[in-house]
Every structure is written in structure tokens, then in C-alpha cells.
Amino acid sequence: MRVLGIETSCDETGIAIYDTEQGIIADALHSQVAVHAEYGGVVPELASRDHIKKTLPLIRQVLAEAKLSSEDIDAVAYTAGPGLIGALMVGACLGRALAYGWNVPALGVHHMEGHLLAPMLEEQPPEFPFVALLVSGGHTQLVDVKAIGCYEVIGESLDDAAGEAFDKAAKMLDLDYPGGPEIAKLAESGDPHRFKFPRPMVDRPGLDFSFSGLKTFTLNLIQKHTVDGPLPDPQTMADIAAGFEQAVVDTVAIKCRRALEQTGYKRLVMAGGVSANRKLRAELGQKLAAVKATVFYARPEFCTDNGAMIAYAGACRLAAGQHADLSVVAYPRWPMDQLEALDHAG
């Protein structure tokens, strides 16, 4: 079965074709970073308009890359939520229309389930059950994953997501958008131990996160060390970036280890845009190896939003007999525990 995947939940247009026998046979991604950079964040209306411009040309591109025609597509999977409602509607309307015109089934996919399952596209995918760490611009969650669709959120951020905190800290340091890669780049020349950043909520039981205190601490540091000009000297800025990044990494690592101890699992799946952070990958792997746990993650290009993860997640559910009716629906908010569990682990 060949499934066309369409991802338009936020500021990236992702299209891919997944073959249940061959894997991903074509994928393409258009990033809107240049569109939103001057505003310091995503502008929903501009995101929707750009998806309208790019989605259909990218579909034509991946079909040509795979040397396929519409007649070779057996189903269409599109992101139905969560995300920006206007952006979601672009992919949902087009995906549903194409499926109707091609006379194939269609299915709306949960965006975070796509991220969670993205590591399944690697050569050595994780086996169920496992703990999933979902870290992105809009989500920071720990999920007990027993099978596809059998999810229990056991920890989440009580305020900002980790990716959002990176973006806001980067803005305080007058770095470009998106902030995560810029913070990581600046942190390479910084001393993470110069300033004693807090590790929020690690001194209390539970698996929830909080990153708002880190933002406040960062702002206070910047103001304290600003003497001449609008910002501190370059080395102090690098030290602040390094300390901030290390605090996030340490906090996440502590919570992940605690989640594995609570569930008794030995596998952690890390997914979402922040999972591309090299320091987070390295330290999670090192610290969890101490408790004989293994960390799995997708290749960097499948960490951020992409069509491949949507095509794969859709293929799993379509193979189990699920499909949508002719209505077009999108959910800006969509709790993962509302998803239907499959009879098999995919």
C-alpha cells in the first residue's frame, strides 16, 4: 500500500509517499522560516497562505520523484491536528479532495502521533512498550506507549513547551528565529557552569515540567550583566546560552530517567523538533545508559514537522481498517488519549 502523507500543521509544508513494503520512497519539505523570521515567530495567516501556495506543487514533486502517478496512490493521510486551524484546514481540505478525486480512502492523522512514530522509519526501530519524550515548539510530554494508539500522558509542561522556551530565550538574546538552533550554536562557545541556572521541578515528585522560571532567570541575568549597549558582552551571552541549554537538558534527562523507573521500561523514544538538539541526544544517551536504557530517535530531517511521519502513521491506521468519511475536520487541540488503539502494534 502506498500512502501520500500531507503535513501542514504549522510553519512547514511536508509531503511524502510511504510504501508499506519499501518504506519512504519520496519526501519533500518546504520551511517557512524566512516568511516568519522578521516577526520573531509564526504568523498564522501567513502560514496558511504559504501552505496554499506550496502544498500542491510539492505533491507533484514527490510523485515525479517516485516516478508515480495518482493512480499508484492507495490512500491519503493528512494532519488533522493539533496545530494552527487555518494551516490544518489547507492540508485537510486538499487531502480529502484528492482522496475523493482518486477514489481512495483518506485519514486525518494526529500530529504528535506522527512524531512519536517517526523513529519507526529508522533501520533499528524501537519495540513496544516504551516511554516517549515529545519535545517541540508546542509540546513537552512524556507518554507511556504500550502500542499504536495506546497512549497515556504521564508528564507534561505546566507552562511553556521546551521549544517555546528556547525561542523566547533566543529572542531575549536578540538571536534569529527559530531560537533552538541559534541557542545551541551560541552555546558551543559558552561555559554552561558560569551561571547556576535552576532545574525546575526536579526536587519534587512527579513527571511534569515547567520552563517559565528558566525564562525569568535568563532575563534577569541579561539585565544584570548589561553594562554598555542593549545586551551583555559576547562571552557572557554565550555563557548564558550554554547555561540555559544545559538546564533544559538536565531537567529533561532527570524526568526521563524518572519515567523509565516508574514504568519499568528500558526504551525511550525521543521525537519532535527539539529532539534534533545534539547536546540533548548525547546526554540522554549517556545518562540513560547508566540505567541500561536505550534511546531511540528519528534522523534529524524527520525530527521537525515532515510528511514522512504522517504518511507512516496514516499507513499504520489505514492498514488496520481505519479511514475517514467525506467530512473535512481539523482539531487545533486534540488530546492523544482520544485516539483509538489498534489491535496490533503496527
What value, to the nearest 5°, has the Cα angle with vertex 20 and ends 15 and 24?
35
- CA 233, CA 224: separation in Å to the nearest integer? 12
- Any binding-site annotation on 344? no
- CA 199, CA 222: separation in Å to the nearest integer? 18
DSSP 74-103: -EEEEEEESS-HHHHHHHHHHHHHHHHHHT
- Any binding-site annotation on 29? no
- Any binding-site annotation on 160? no
- CA 346, CA 113: separation in Å to the nearest integer? 13
DSSP 210-236: --HHHHHHHHHHHHHT--SSSS--HHH
Grid cell 541500561 in the structure block, residue: 292
- Any binding-site annotation on 252? no
- Any binding-site annotation on 51? no
- Any binding-site annotation on 134? yes
- Any binding-site annotation on 137? yes
- CA 123, CA 244: separation in Å to the nearest integer? 33
- Any binding-site annotation on 86? no
Residues annotated within the binding site for Fe cation are 111, 115, 305
Q: Which residues are annotated as a binding site for substrate?
A: 134-138, 167, 180, 277
Binding annotation: 111, 115, 134-138, 167, 180, 277, 305
